[in-house]
Structure formats: structure tokens, C-alpha cells
Structure 1
């Protein structure tokens, strides 16, 4: 029988390395990966000599904000941005939507809002927050039964904060509740993903003013390292898989490596803005985020930690907001960088300049996030996986034009920056050019 799609390329990024290959697709799945010149039956797409076939990227850290704050970002705009950037699967964070994803009813509301709007596949994280009478409340307690019900409903794991999340409906966990959340995740077989800044260290730091220097001082590296040490202890005691979100300080990456070498199940990610920007030159609040972008020397050490395997993944932490919330200086502006559409180009530009390959980028931006979220059919060009494919031109260079971005608000710290790489074609489960409604909401049976 003829295949639905055949893609030939001189360079295909496979789990074993880049090689010439032909990839065949039927019913949305990859059915064969063969020698480039192998005879196959079906409609053939031959990639250009300057193009590389990548697996669709998986971004496991995206704040879509719908329902409730759709004027910040929504599923239609976020997934259009994802598709334009070569991201074929994203995992939505349980905040800043209203309601937050802390119970099955809230998850159902989010799925209802997303249904028929998404251009790429979407999975969901749940929230581990203190509840009182079923409502998020800092004086309440984490509810293991509600967490179990959320896993049954399809969430991939649970997010918590160790400090103020920035929105009142998603309070941080106490020391005791962190243990409960971790033990519950261990029992349920899902990861606990953590915004790891220690509240005690932050409370003893100077307040942030309007300039970047004071904002940076208000969130020192010690807040991250102290939190990582605490999380390593929790992971060791409970047996949970703890994942440290958006590592910005290289010292935290070092502590993660120490814990992992001691047998603790702990993984970590960093983000494009920590690998591309630097405090010495950051002038716009478009680059404000928590934890903050740090120094040029710290940035290079983060690249070293990534190369050494101390950090596992690179994800966007796409956290948009309306333009007015980025006003008032660095102390008052909303902390979040919007980079879902640009993440691949930003990371590839920095990676290529430091001698890394597209194999490395795919490991960080497709395989590792898919593994974290338990999405076994995503993240690689391999028989049996979903046929999520990207034709990428790694040597093309173009400046970032904010007006051309698909996100709801065209705010980016990369405006005018010359970046390497161009996403030329995208296939989602074998269908080219993902459009509104083409994506699926991923339930628990994708594990």
C-alpha cells in the first residue's frame, strides 16, 4: 500500500545522529526510516540541500493563560506561534489562567477553551497548591486526592512554587506541603516541576527598583541554589522525580549535578533568554523574568552546564502579558519573556556559535521535554512515533521583526536581532502546515 507521505532529506536528525534518510508516514505515524535512496511508494517531498529534517519540537513550559486571561495569550495565538517556530507539541502551565488547573473541573474548562482552536498538540500540567474548601488559599493544604483525580483526567504532572507566583490564585506551597506534593507525585508516577527560588532568601534581599541592577540584586543566585538543595532533600526522602524549572544561575546547575550524582532523581531545564541575553546589556523590560537574566559570564557557564548534561532541556517559559504590564520599570513590570515562536532560532544561533550541532538542539528541545512530560510518541524521528516533522534551514539568517510574530502581543527582547535558522515547513502527524483546529488535546493515554 502506498504511504500517505514520504520525506527524503540529505540530513535527518535521528536518535542515533544526523544521516541521509527517507521517512515514510501512514495514518499520522512514522512507519519507516530507511536509506535515503530506498524505493518507497507514496507522494514524495524532497527537502532542499540547505534544509534539515528535524522532529517537531516539544515545549513543556508554556503559559497560554486561557480561559480567564485570554487578553494576555490564548490557545489560537499561542499554538499558531508554536507551529511557526517548529514546535508541534506544547504542555500548558496550570497558571495564569482563571481558574488555574488545580482540579478536574478546571482542567475540563481549559480543555473546553482549547478545543477546536489549537494548531499543534497540547497537553497540560496540573497545579499543586494549598486548598481550603477546594479553593486555592495559602492557609490551606495540598490535597492528594485532588492530585490523583487530575492525573486520572490526564495531566502530565504537577507544578508548584516555593515563593509568590505573581498571581493570587496560585499560592506557593509550605515546607510540609512540598513534602506531601512530592510524595503524592511519587505514588502517582508523575514529576513534580518546581519554580525553585527560596522565599527566605528573597525576603532578605533588597527590594527591586526600576533599574535592572536593583532587580537583579533582589533575586540573587542564592535563592536558586538554596531551593535546589531543599528540593534534592525532598526528592531523596520521597523518591519523587523533581524537575527544576527555568534555571538561570549556573551555581544551581552545579548543585543539581551533585544531587544527581548522589542518586537523586532530579532534572532541570533552562530557557533561551538565559542562553542569549545578559544583564550587562539588557535594557528593555521585555527581557524581565523571574529568576532573572544574569551576567555574560554566567550565561557562558550555563552553556557549559548544558553541554555537560547538568541541564537536560531548553524550553521557552513563554509567559506573555499585555503591553501595559511591561511598563513602570524593572521593579513593577510583569516578569515573563515571550519567545515560543523564536526559541529554536535563538537557541540554534547560540549553539552553532559554540560548536554544538542540531543533534544537541533536538536532544534539548524535543527529546528531553517529551520525556519529562511522558509523551512517548513525541520528540524523535523514529518508527511508531507521531509524524511531527520540521524542515529547517539552519544557515539562513534574518532579523526578528516583532510585527511578523504570531503571539497575541508582539513584545520580544529579540527585536531586530539577527538569528540563524528558518522554519520552512511543518508537518503535524503527517499533515503539512498546521492550522487552527489541526491540533489535538493529549489525554493520559499518550504516555
Structure 2
């Protein structure tokens, strides 16, 4: 469709462009009008102040018309004849007055419109020195303070602010780290620690990984656990020991960091047992310590430690006289002792003694135990130990009832259960 020989679409575009040009022209014309009004108002203010000063100067009495000169001329009857000296002094006074007038007039250009029109400026003898600024107060930079003053300021900062402060420069970082023991720690549970052996570099490394991580999330690597912990923080984390890692090399550092309230292990996982090939033992190496030493190590990490998973084949020698490992069910919320070779089994006497200790301990907590099924305990014997059979199945080869899950109630604590998961 065309309109007056021009397509309708083109006419609409031309109309919009015309409207935009008109709008821009209107805005620019308004700006020009405001500029003209401002210049006119400034000119009027300047002329008004100039006329005011001229009127004020004209009201001053000149030396020619002073009362003393008129009195002398009337008494002597002669006209006053000025000496050359008096003429020079009069001209000097006039020139000085003119210079002062020029200075006052030139100062009007330094004042804004409303300042020039204010009544206080009309009566001012010198407008050049009206708005003198006060000298600025001396500024003391933060780094110019002494170490004692900076440490006193640090006492009022929270751990997050202290961490940001320590990342500014070397001096502040050293001050923050030197006073780290006296500063409250903030709990951080966003990462977990993995200790593994690097086959390429042939050394054991510590990696700090984000718990719910993706491929793009960075990982931090160091040769010690302390080197990965953020300052002014207490790490509530899970520690995983991979295969071929000597656990005894890390036990002292973990205990020291725990005493310093820098590291709180919530879970200890010893892995690598599933990688066993034939009769070869693999996994995290616990063979350098005894069962009693391991239980003592776990007791020193209480009450924070909640889980232990022994999934390694390189186990310490298990004591067969007393249920040393099963004593930890009173300290933990989850305990797993599952590995491939050699198969570790517990018997009725050991399990019964561990259950009795758990039911009589007032500090016991609900615990899930994952272990191999004992051969010498029948469903009736579990019931005698105040247990309820939750899951069971029948062995297709021997027609024996195999218990898969047992729940035992605490003797006097409500809602505290001990659950055995057998496989």
C-alpha cells in the first residue's frame, strides 16, 4: 500500500524520525533558554551590585567638602588654594579607593547567582575573602599506626573481616597470623580433605576439595594439612585416606590441629580395600599401630568425630580377647568395618559385650554399624539381647535364616537406637 507515491512503511519511519528530531530540537532549545536566562540573571546581579557600590561610594564625604575646609574659607574670605602635596595625597587616596572598588567588583564573578544576591554580601567590605575554606584536618593512614594499635583494632573484627584484612599486605598478614590463637574462629564446613599418594611426583599430597563440587571447581594441594586451612577458621571436615597412605604419619598433625581448634574431623574414611587383587593387601596402611592405639586416637577426637569407615585391607592386628573396635560404637554415629581380605568377623561373645557397654553408657548416641554377618548368632539369640529383627532372608543353599538388620533399644535413653547392618 502506498500513500502519495511513498510506501506506507517508509512514511511511518520518516514520521518517527521527524518526531525524534523535533524532540531533540525542543530539548536543545530548552537548554539554550536556560543558559540565556542564567547569563541574563548573572548580568543583572552584577550591574545591581555595581550600582550599589557606586551609590555607597558617592555618599562618602570628599576632602574638598569637609566641614573644616568650608569653615576656613568662610572665615578668611579667600578661596582655598591646594598645595601640590595636598593634590598628590588626594589623588593617592582616590587611586587607592578605585583599586579597592575594582577588587570588589571583580569578586562578583567568583560568586554564584544566589550568593551575589544575598544581603550579607552587599555590606561586606571585601568580597574576595568571604568563603575562605578551613584548613583540612591532618589524616593518619591505617598503616602508620603501631602494631599495638592495629592489634587492638583487630580485637573488634569478626573472623571474616580478619581474613580480608590479612589478605591486604604482608605486614597485616603477619600481625593477623601472630595473634591467630587469641582470635575467635569461624566454622567452615564447605570442603573436605583427601590424603593420597601421587604416583607421578612419588610423594603424598593433601588436597582440599569442595564437598558438592563440579569439574570446574578448583582444588588446592599442599604437603601438609595446616598449609591448606584458611586462617581464623575452624574446619569441620571429612578426611579420606587413600590407598598406600601411611596413616601414622598424619595422626600427630591431626591431633595438634584439633587441640588448636583449627581442625575438627567429622569423619575418617580409610579406603582402598576394594582394590585388592588376589591375596595382595591394598588400601590405607594402618599396620604400624595397634588396635588399642587406634581406639585411643579416636577417643581424643571426641565429641566431634561422628563416623569411621574401615574399608582397607591393611588393617592393624585385631585383638581377639576384648571387643576393642566395637567399643567405638558408644562414641560414633556411624561405624563401618568392611574390607575384602582377610575377612574380619566378630562373634557372639564380642558383640554381646559391646551391646551391654553401649546400653549402660549415658553418653551413647544412635549408631549404625556396618559389618559382616556373624556365624554363631541366630535370630533367637538377637531377641534375647533385646533386639528386634527388621530384615532377614533365607539362604537358598542351607535354608538358614540370615538376619540382615537388627535394631536394639537403649536401656534408659529414649529414641537412641543401635542398628546392625549385616552383609
Instruction: Tell me if TM exceeds 0.5.
Output: no
Bin the TM-score by the shorter chain: under 0.3
Q: Which has the higher contact order (CA 8 A, sep 6+)?
A: 1
Structure possessing the higher radius of gyration over alpha carbons: 2
The structure richer in helix per residue is 2
With the length of structure 2 as denominator, give the TM-score of the two structures: 0.24
With the length of structure 1 as denominator, give the TM-score of the two structures: 0.23
